[in-house]
Structure 1
Amino acid sequence: MAEQSWIDRLKSSKKTALIQDGKRKIHYLLTDGFEMVEEYDLKTDELLVRRCRPKSPLGGQGQWQVEVGGLLVVPSTSAEKDVITENVSNPVFVRKDTKNSFQWRIRNLPYPKDVYSVSVETSEGCIIIKTSNKKYYKKFTIVDLERIQLPLDRSALSFTHANNTLMINYNKPAEILTREQELLKELKELKGTSDGDVDCKTQ
C-alpha cells in the first residue's frame, strides 16, 4: 500500500536528533538519498518547519524545498512566478499547520472576503484560489496527502480573511492524524543533544 510505503521509508531512514532553542530538530536520510528536516516545538509538539531535498535527476543533491514554516516551493506556471517575491507588497504564500489541520496564509491580499474563491479540483488533485477581480490566482497540492495517495475532500476545506491575510484551513483526515501520532511517538524516543547531532538507530 502507498501509505505503508511512505511510513516504511521514514521508519527505515537514518535519523539524527538535536534539541536546541526549545525545538526538537530531526534530520531524515532515506535509503534513496531523499533528505527531510523537521522542527517541532518541545512544549506543544507542533510541527514548525519541514524542508525536503530530493536527489537531482543526475544523482546529486537537489535544492531544499520548504513545505512548512516558510515560503512554499511548488511548481508554478510563468504567470505565477511573480507571486512569491521579495517585494513586500506582493502576496506571500506560507504554510503553517496546526495539530488538526493543514493551514496556508497568503499575506498582502487586501480585498474583501467575498472576492475570494477557494475550491478543490478533484480531477487535478489540487486546491485553487482565485479572486473575482482577477488580481490573484494560485493552484497548489497537499504533498502529505499525495504521499499516501489520499484524495482531497471538499468538506474539509474552509477559509477566512482578516488583516489583509487569507487563511485556508484543511482538516487533517484520520489517516494523517494516526500517522503523525505514530511518527511523533517514535521521534520522542530518539535521544537528542543540545551539543550536536546524534545518530539514532531505527527499527
Structure 2
Amino acid sequence: MASEQWFKLIQDAKKTAIIQDGKRKVHFLFEDGKEMVEEYHLETNVIVRRAWREKGKLGQDVGWVVEVGDPEPRPQDNLEISGIRESSNAPFISRRITKVSLEWRIRNLPYPKDVYSVTAENDGTITVRTSNKKYFKKLSIPDLERAGLKPEADRITFTHQFNTLIITYKKPPLLIDLEKKVLQEVLQLKTRKEGEVQCPTS
C-alpha cells in the first residue's frame, strides 16, 4: 500500500532535527539522494512548510521547491537575465495544512465566487476552472498521492475573498493516520536547539 511505502521511506531516511524560530525543522535525506525539509509548529505540531531540494538534469542543485507554505520569493533580477518578468498581478498558489484539512490559496483572482468550479478529477488532481475562461489550473495533491488516494468531490469546499480563492480539502482518515505515524517518528528524533553545539568541544 502506498501509505506504508511512504512511511517506510520516512523511517529509512537519515533525519536531523533542530528547533529554530519557534519551529521544529526536520531534514530528511532519502536513500535515493532526495532531500526534504519539514517545519512543524512547536505548539500544534502542524506542518507549516515542506520543501524539496531539486536537482537539474545534469545533477546540479537548482534550489528548493516549496510544496507546503508560501512560495520562495522570486529573484528580482529575472528581468535582466531573460528580459521577462512575471506580472506581480499573476495568480500564485500557496498551500497550507491544518489538523483536519489541506488548503490551497490562489491569490490575484478577482472574479466573483460563482464564476469558479472546483472539481475532483480521476487523474488525482483538483481542477479549478472559471466560467469566463480566464483561469484554469490543475492542483496536484502530493499528500493524497503518497497515501495512495484519489481526491473525492464531497471533501472539497471553497470560498473567495480579498481576490483570493481558498480551497479546502477535508483530510480522509487514512491520511490523518499516516501523518500521525510520521509525526511520531519526528517527535522521537534527538532535537537540538539553534546555537547548541552538537558535540562537546575540547
TM-score normalized by the length of structure 1? 0.84
The structure with the largest alpha-carbon Rg is 2
Structure 2 counterpart of 1:111:
111
Letter in 2 for 1:46: V
Instruction: Give the C-alpha shift of residue 157 in structure 1.
Output: 0.9
- Measured after TM superposition, the shift of residue 95 of structure 1 is 0.6
Root mean square deviation, CA, Å: 2.1
User: Quick one: distance in 1 between partners of 2:178 and 2:115?
Assistant: 36
Aligned to 1:145: 144
Q: What's 1:53 paired with? A: 53
Deviation of residue 88 (structure 1)?
Answer: 2.5
1:22 counterpart = 2:39: no
* Identical columns (%): 48
1:114-169 residue CA offsets vs partner (Å, 9 max, x unmatched): 011111111x2211111111111111210111123212111111101111110001
Q: Which residue of 1 aligns with 2:97?
A: 97
Contact 2:35-2:53 within 8 A present in 1 as well: yes
**Match in the other structure for 2:155:** 156
The count of corresponding residues between Structure 1 and Structure 2 is 186
Compared with structure 1, are the counterparts of its residues 131 and 54 closer, same or farther at alpha carbon in structure 2 (3 Å cutoff)? same
> Structure 1 residues 144 and 109, CA, compared in 2 at 3 Å: closer, same or farther?
same
Q: Where in structure 2 are the equivalents of 1:1-203 lying within 5 Å? A: 1-53=1-53, 61=61, 63-71=63-71, 86-122=86-122, 124-193=123-192, 194-195=194-195
Query: Aligned partners of 1:62, 1:5: CA distance in 2, in Å?
Result: 27
Measure, in 1, the Cα distance between the counterparts of 2:14 and 2:104.
30
Q: Is the 8 A contact 2:94 2:105 kept in 1?
A: yes
Using the TM superposition, give the Cα deviation of residue 188 of structure 1 relative to its aligned residue in structure 2, in angstroms.
1.5
Q: What is the Cα deviation at residue 196 of structure 1?
A: 5.6
Deviations 1:10-57 (A, max 9, x none): 001100101011000000001111110000110111211000135555
Structure 2 unaligned runs (5+)? 73-84
Structure 1 gaps, min length 5? 73-84
Moved more, 21-30 or 44-53: 44-53
The answer on whether the counterparts of 2:147 and 2:174 sit within 8 Å (CA) in structure 1 is no
Q: Which amino acid aligns with 1:147?
A: R
Counterpart contact for 2:39–2:47, Cα < 8 Å: yes
Give yes or no for contact 1:33–1:54 (8 Å, CA) kept in 2.
Answer: no
Residue 17 of structure 1 contacts residue 198 of structure 1 at CA under 8 Å; is this kept in 2?
Answer: no
**TM-score relative to the length of structure 2:** 0.84
Distance 1:53 1:153 in 2: 30
Would you say the 8 A contact 1:13–1:31 is kept in 2?
yes
Q: For 1:18 and 1:102, locate their aligned partners in 2 and report how far apart those are by CA, in whole Å.
A: 25
